[in-house]
């Protein structure tokens, strides 16, 4: 017995430290380093809606019979949609991005992708892949738009959207369904909402800052709570929409006692259109629009943006876009928020 104990102790002393036990076994090849493509200095490219963005992809050398393929990694189905393929001399564009993309090609090693008039749906991950037989390699880049996430429900109440209706509702309000990353970032910035909503990948979540009984209970920690993936046809929730600033646009308020129809006409008289919900959120977030006046919006709701909270403007302690819901469109009680595009 004592002999076995002594042998066990000797084995433990001779054993390598924990940090080396899980090292790669001898003979296992290390991950391949890039031979033909340069690592990007900044893997995330920041841009604005309506701007021109360049995703860098530069070759170290030009191998024989090579092609460079650009594709977009879609979060909804985890597939990659081809955008453009080039062999250095000729190129071909593919898909819905086709009219707005080109190769920068500032020199013969440059295969960088240029996207003009950046749209909300352009945000996401892109792959530049060098196709060269057995030596294929690629880099991943992220196109990031600064934006704002907002919860949205229709005039007939909460939990009325299936996934496809939620997607359409966001698009009608100058926005799109948020990604999980966008929703998580919004939560870290203070988004606190008790109603669950669809996001772009077909999962359902709700962000909580202040734990409370109607929102999962006081004992659950703050966070982005999840219902996971749901049936896109049958299950019904609200929506979390994402919008961004649009260069050269303006949202402004017209005072008056207007019903919904008169509100739309008042905006058209100024050469503008009645603002959508996403446009009001964008103006609040990026132009610091601050008004205590409720105004009609294109979906028939009445809202007002508060940048500096104060007692006589709803009394809530945090900035935000306040809502009066969906009053009767015949009521002559409110002004209107107008949107002037570039």
Q: What is the 8-class DSSP label of residue 237?
A: B
Residues 141 and 157 in one domain: no
Is residue 9 a part of any domain in this protein?
A: no
State the pLDDT at residue 341.
86
d(CA 26, CA 222): 45
Say which residues have a Cβ less than 8 Å from residue 221's Cβ, sequence separation at least 6.
211
Q: pLDDT per residue over 232-250, tens digit each? A: 999 999 999 999 988 789 9
What is the number of structural domains in the chain?
Answer: 3
Is 28 part of any domain? no
The pLDDT confidence band at residue 77, using thresholds 50, 70 and 90, is low
Residue 77 is part of which domain span? Answer: 37-145
Contact 154, 148 (CB under 8 A): no
Separation of alpha carbons 24 and 277, rounded Å: 54
Among residues 244, 265, 291, which one ends one of the domains? Answer: 244
- In the listed set 175, 209, 244, which residue is the last one of a domain according to the structure? 244
Spatial distance between the Cα atoms of 33 and 283, rounded to a whole number of angstroms:
45
Co-location of 119 and 166 in the same domain: no
Whether residue 159 sits in one domain with residue 138: no
CA dihedral 133, 43, 71, 176 (to 10 degrees): 160
**What pTM was estimated for this model as a whole?**
0.83
Domain boundary residue, one of 244, 272, 288: 244
The overall longest dimension of the chain from CA atoms, in Å, is 98
User: Are residue 255 and residue 276 in the same domain, yes or no?
Assistant: yes
Predicted confidence (pLDDT) per residue in 155-204, tens digit: 999 999 999 999 999 999 999 999 999 999 999 999 999 999 999 999 99
DSSP 112-146: -EEE-S--GGG-EEEEEEEE-GGG-EEEEEEEEE-
Mean pLDDT across the chain: 88
Minimal CA–CA distance to 76: which of 175, 254, 199?
199
pLDDT tens for 246-276 read 878 999 999 999 999 999 999 999 999 999 9
**Do residues 155 and 140 both lie within one domain?**
no
Taking only the tens place, the pLDDT of each residue in 54-72 is 999 999 998 888 999 999 9
177: CATH = 3.10.100.10
Residue 134 domain flag: yes
The answer to whether residue 108 is domain-embedded is: yes
User: Distance (Å, rounded) from C-alpha 192 to C-alpha 44?
Assistant: 27
CB atoms within 10 A of CB 220: 12
**Is residue 159 domain-shared with residue 139, that is, in the same domain?**
no
Partners of 337 in the β-ladder: 253
Task: Tell me the average pLDDT across 74-85.
Answer: 84
| Residue 105 in domain | yes
**Within this chain, do residues 261 and 276 fall inside the same structural domain, yes or no?**
yes
| Residue 132, in any domain of the structure | yes
Within-domain flag for 8: no
């Amino acid at each position: 017995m004592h002999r076995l104990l002594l042998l066990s102790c000797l084995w433990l002393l001779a054993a390598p430290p924990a940090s080396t036990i899980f090292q790669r076994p001898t003979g296992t090849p290390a991950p391949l380093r890039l031979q033909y493509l340069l690592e990007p200095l900044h893997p995330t490219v920041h841009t604005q809606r309506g701007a021109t963005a360049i995703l860098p992809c530069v070759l170290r050398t030009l191998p024989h019979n090579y092609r460079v393929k650009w594709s977009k990694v879609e979060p909804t189905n985890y597939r990659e949609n081809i955008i453009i393929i080039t062999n250095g001399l000729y190129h071909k564009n593919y898909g819905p991005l086709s009219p707005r993309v080109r190769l920068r090609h500032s020199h013969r090693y440059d295969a960088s992708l240029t996207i003009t008039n950046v749209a909300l749906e352009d945000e996401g991950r892109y792959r530049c892949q060098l196709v060269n037989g057995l030596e294929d390699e690629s880099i991943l880049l992220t196109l990031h738009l600064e934006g704002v996430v907002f919860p949205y429900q229709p005039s007939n109440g909460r939990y009325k959207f299936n996934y496809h209706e939620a997607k359409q509702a966001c698009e009608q309000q100058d926005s799109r369904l948020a990604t999980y990353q966008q929703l998580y970032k919004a939560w870290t910035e203070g988004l606190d909402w008790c109603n669950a909503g669809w996001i772009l990948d077909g999962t359902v979540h709700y962000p909580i800052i202040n734990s409370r009984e109607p929102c999962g209970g006081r004992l659950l920690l703050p966070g982005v709570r999840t219902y996971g993936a749901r049936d896109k046809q049958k299950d019904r929730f609200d929506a979390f929409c994402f919008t961004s600033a649009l260069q050269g646009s303006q949202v402004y308020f017209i005072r008056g006692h207007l019903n919904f129809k008169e509100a739309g006409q008042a905006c058209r008289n100024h050469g503008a259109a009645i603002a959508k919900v996403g446009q009001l959120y964008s103006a609040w977030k990026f132009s610091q629009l601050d008004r205590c006046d409720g105004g009609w919006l294109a979906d028939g709701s009445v809202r007002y943006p508060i940048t500096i909270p104060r007692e006589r403007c709803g009394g809530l302690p945090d900035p935000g876009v306040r809502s009066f819901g969906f009053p009767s469109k015949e009521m002559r009680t409110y002004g209107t928020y107008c949107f002037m595009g570039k």
